[in-house]
Amino acid sequence: MIWFLMLGFTALVFGAPQERGNAEQDAESQDRLGVVHAEKGELATAVSCFQKAIGLRPDFPEAHYHLALAYERMGRTAEALEGYQEAIRLRPDFSEARYLLAGSCQKAGDLEGVARLLGEIVERAPGFAEARYNLGLTLQSQKKLTEAVEQLRAAARLTPRNPKFLMALGIALAEQQHGAEAAATLHQAAALDPGNAEVHYNLGVALATAGREVEAVQAFWGALQRNPKHASARRGLGISLMHQGQLEASLAELRRAVEAAPDDPEARNNLGLVLLRLKDPQGAIEALEWAARLNPRLIKAYYNLAQACQRAGRYEDARRATERARELTAEQRNLGRAMLLVQSANQGVHGGDASAALTRLREAIALSPNFADAHVELAKALRSRGDTGEALQALRRALKLDPERADARYELGLTLGQAGERPAAIEELRTAAQRWPCFLPARRALGLLSLEAGDRKTALGELRFVLALAPLDAEVRRALQRASR
Amino acid sequence: MRLGALLLGLAGGGLFLLSQDSPQPASPVSFVDVAAESGISFRHDNAASTEKYLIETMGAGAAWIDYNSDGFLDIYLVNSAPTKVYRPGKPLRSSLYRNNGEGSFTEVTEAAGVAAEGLFGMGVAAGDYDNDGDQDLYVVGYWRSILYRNEGNGRFTDVTQRAAAANAGKWGSSAAWFDYDRDGWLDLVIVNYVDWSVQNNLYCGEQRPGYRSYCHPNKYKGQTPTLLGNNRDGTFSDASRKSGIGSKPGNGLGVVCFDFNRDGWTDLFIANDSTENFLYLNRRDKTFTEIAVRAGAAYGDNGEVEAGMGVDAADYDGDGWPDVFITHLDFELNRLYRHNGKDGFEDVTFRAGLGYQTFHLSGFGAGFVDYDNDGWPDIFIANGHVLDNIHLFHAKTTFAEPKFVFRNLGGRFENATGLLGPDLARPRVSRAAAFGDYDNDGDIDVLVSNNGQEAELLRNEGGNRRHWLELYLIGTRSNRDGVGATVTLTASDRKLYNERKGGASYQAAHEPRLHFGLGALDRVDRIEVRWPSGVVDVIPAIPADQVVTVKEGAGQVESRFPPLRQKGAG
């Protein structure tokens, strides 16, 4: 989860309120008045004030920013985005506007956009700890752990007594399997925020990952003391007790974990395990079947189920469970290989060996037909050779597999454009831009294509947004000039 | 406190059949690396390159073999070969070292004709496959392997093609000689790894300088094991599919052949990397059934497959049933599976005290070794990571790692590593660990092959302060090496069970004698040898501290294992 600090309206108030009388004609006064209303929660009135301020002075970046903030608080994300965009366009070094724009992108699920924006922010303002923290969380969710740890470490260094930052750093370190450092960091977080159950839970996880089960048990107990309903802590406690051979105690905790979170497949899987060890294969089977139903791709649940069925004399069921585990393992292996083939193919494309790249991409698809990345990369490689027909098919397959692929939608737009189907291309790019507002390539392509198609309004809107965030894009600048004539 | 007391209560609660003779206190034993002073200058060349060919990091093997039948164990160390991207400055050869009988070794590779030049070597197996009284050598490699027949005159002949024993096209890792059909002739099982090749080599790791890594084996397809049936005429037939052993692929790395269910027929256990282990039960009709899942040893007790590398089987708790130990990578557990006395195993890794102690180490060669002769098999593990740049990903992990020894306290283990001398603590990228009494002094020494480094010869000093007995078997109706024979030794109220196994550890070949630690007991009351043929030999009471040779059907015969001479003596 990313928590964005909602910078207060008061942060940007300039001096004391103006005397009455000229308030309505004075842009700054309208802006300040808007801030006062916003702070009281009178958002509709605040919006009106900010709009007046902008009407009086269209190039007033702070007013655009405040308007965007108000829209954001009202849940009007699209308008908020426009407001931030305009603020940034007017004042490119407006870190707060960029930061909150990133927050809007995060809400829209555009993690690449978030990462890019936050990266720019921390480059311009290296001391902006909150931005580093959120960048770290974004990178972590993208599985870029090394970079995530770097950002979170920097955030923690900038504000050493911030338990939230320390906790995030500890979690990332544990994910990187730096158990000792993770535990030390989480201990620090716990010392600063002793009432926080989540910190104690994550400490327990880090300790268990590092093999320090006895300490992990203590940490999980700590989390439960602070929040007896913490289902994950209950589960972690049960697992650690099981590892220490305390099977009855483990059983009790895992039963409670399942009660607290009935849809947690891991809790049910571990409940099944401990029942198996307590020589209750029937009970184990029930728990493990449930785990597999909740997560049909949980390989270990099938292996455990096979064991339990074996012990219960249900040999055919054991065989089926083993077969399913093996199928899933093979799928996983094939996906891993497919990922490397795609990576290797990309290197081939950049290295000029397009033919070898295509072979590898087709091999990746053969290995793992549901791997959307492979279809997208194949499409790109085909498009670069002018083979738009097959490229379109590949992209449609990718979108069927994963409708949330911003890059696939964008590539589809480009490919349709290359194939001469401009209206369809614009439609796809518009969908991409609306769905992923911070995905610059899509907005850029939409702006340029709209200009070609004579839609100046769309072109202006999109190109302005892109230029606000990428001011050095000469082609966009030239296109904007043409569109403005 | 409360939790700790509960744990102790569990462990002492009759879960194990503890012998009435409780283990004695630790005696001062140390392992000293005497390789250099003994004349062993072999240095493994792993052909490391920036292409990160997976074969570079997986080898190589080490063997004890008495190639000249003089009663002293000689050494064979396996090397790699040039590759498309690696051209060494001098030819790469495997090496045979003759034990001179006074503590030193002499390299005799060229004279013996076993250099295996051009073979990217992995494991090795020593056995008398033609029953002519001398030990032959099978060197396992990538894409092919070599069978060297011992001519009995200090020389070997490469008979691979003639014997149809090449294992061509497969990446062989470990191999083991065993008699699967009890016809009195040794057959050969080779566990094969994955279908990696130069053509399908992938870029793994992060895309920045220095961060390219060896790929995980799950990026490739596993290969099926190979079973070569001995035709008794110097040739072999591929019995892989027919026997069932080649029925399914695994990422095979280690193998041990032993009698899992004590029915007199040798079964085999294969440690697979990141996929289920295999336990092939011998059905006594030249076929096997794979039962690891059913037996509870296919994966860890958490339902997750692990990176199985080294494997051994022995009765660690004195209940007469063979248990299994498997090494794995860091962030996984080395697993101890205790035989349940019926049809399977129970994962007792935590209850036996092993737990997380080796969690940050990657175990390869390993075995049950009673290093202190107290009658309880201990566990020796040779460690070394797989990734030569692991420090970039895990700050506290290094490529080279120390050894690890667990001392058996009578069914539970404690970490004894720190008590056994500084040479075990020296970090190495270890692979094969081969066990043998090379100085014939009654305690087990360890030969370790290290990836890209010098080999180690860890001489056991002090293990023979307690009493011992070694048994050398000569088959007549059974295979000459006696592989598959089981031995029950009775001394006072102790009953010790042992077996002439095939394989064990990782890419290693061990000495042929069966070793028994006797603790304070200075005589043995009875030795019963059950041969694969069904013949039973019984040796009545004999003193401890000697090597006893038993010939099938004839009982005890003269032994030929002299002690080490003083240097300079004749």
A352 pLDDT above the threshold of 80: no
**Residue A344 is encoded by which pair of tokens?**
């290797």
**Residue A176 is encoded by which pair of tokens?**
């990187």
Structure letter (DSSP) for residue A108: T
A10 pLDDT above the threshold of 50: no
Contact (CB<8Å) A336/B216: yes
Answer with the residue of higher pLDDT: B2 or A331: A331
Residue pLDDT, tens place only, A109-153: 778 888 988 998 899 889 999 999 999 999 999 888 889 999 999
**Residue B284 is encoded by which pair of tokens?**
């006594």
CB A209 within 8 A of CB A177: yes
Fold exhibited by the domain A324-394: 1.25.40
Mean of the pLDDT values across residues A451-477? Answer: 89
Distance CA B510, CA B437 (A): 10
Phi then psi dihedrals of residue B251, to 5 deg: -100, 75
Q: Say which of B7, B219, B305 has its CB closest to residue A245.
A: B7
Position A22 scores a pLDDT of 54
Position A17 scores a pLDDT of 44
Q: Name the strand (E) or helix (H) holding B237.
A: strand B236-238
Q: Is the peptide bond before B60 cis (omega within 30 degrees of 0)?
A: yes
Closest residue, chain B, to A218 (C-alpha): B3
Distance CA A218, CA A183 (A): 13
Contact (CB<8Å) B305/A303: yes
Buried b (16+ CB within 10 A) or exposed e, B290-321: bbbbbbbbbbbbbbebbbbbbbbbbbbbbbeb
pLDDT grade for A16, boundaries at 50, 70 and 90:
very low
Measuring CA to CA, which residue among B510, B494, B490, B513 is closest to residue B502? B510
Residue pLDDT, tens place only, A400-409: 999 988 889 9
> What CATH number does the domain located at A1-142 have?
1.25.40.10
Report chain B residues whose CB lies below 8 A from the CB of A333.
Answer: 218-219, 221
Amino acid at B30: S
End-to-end CA distance of chain A: 44
Position A80 scores a pLDDT of 87
Contact (CB<8Å) B394/A347: no
Mean of the pLDDT values across residues A283-296? Answer: 97
Position A20 scores a pLDDT of 42
Contact (CB<8Å) B294/A310: yes
Residue pLDDT, tens place only, A218-258: 999 999 999 999 999 999 999 999 988 899 999 999 999 99
CA distance, residue A221 to nearest chain B CA (Å): 13
Position B255 scores a pLDDT of 98
CB-CB neighbours of A73 under 10 Å: 16
Position B22 scores a pLDDT of 52
**A217 near B CB under 8 A:** yes
Report chain A residues whose CB lies below 8 A from the CB of B351.
Answer: 245
Residue pLDDT, tens place only, A165-199: 999 999 999 888 888 899 999 999 999 999 999 99
Position B319 scores a pLDDT of 95
CB B21 within 8 A of CB B467: no
Distance CA B86, CA B209 (A): 19
**Residue A449 is encoded by which pair of tokens?**
């294509």
> Three-state SS for B215?
coil
> What CATH number does the domain located at A404-485 have?
1.25.40.10
Residues in chain B with pLDDT < 70? 1-27, 566-570
The set of residues, in sequence order, having a beta carbon less than 8 Å from that of A280 and lying 6+ positions away, is none
CA distance, residue B165 to nearest chain A CA (Å): 30
Give domain limits for chain A.
1-142, 324-394, 404-485
Answer with the residue of higher pLDDT: A205 or A179: A205
pLDDT grade for A105, boundaries at 50, 70 and 90:
confident
Distance CA A191, CA A200 (A): 10
Closest residue, chain A, to B346 (C-alpha): A277
Query: Helix A372-384 vs helix A388-401: angle between axes, to the nearest 10 degrees?
Result: 160
Position A4 scores a pLDDT of 41
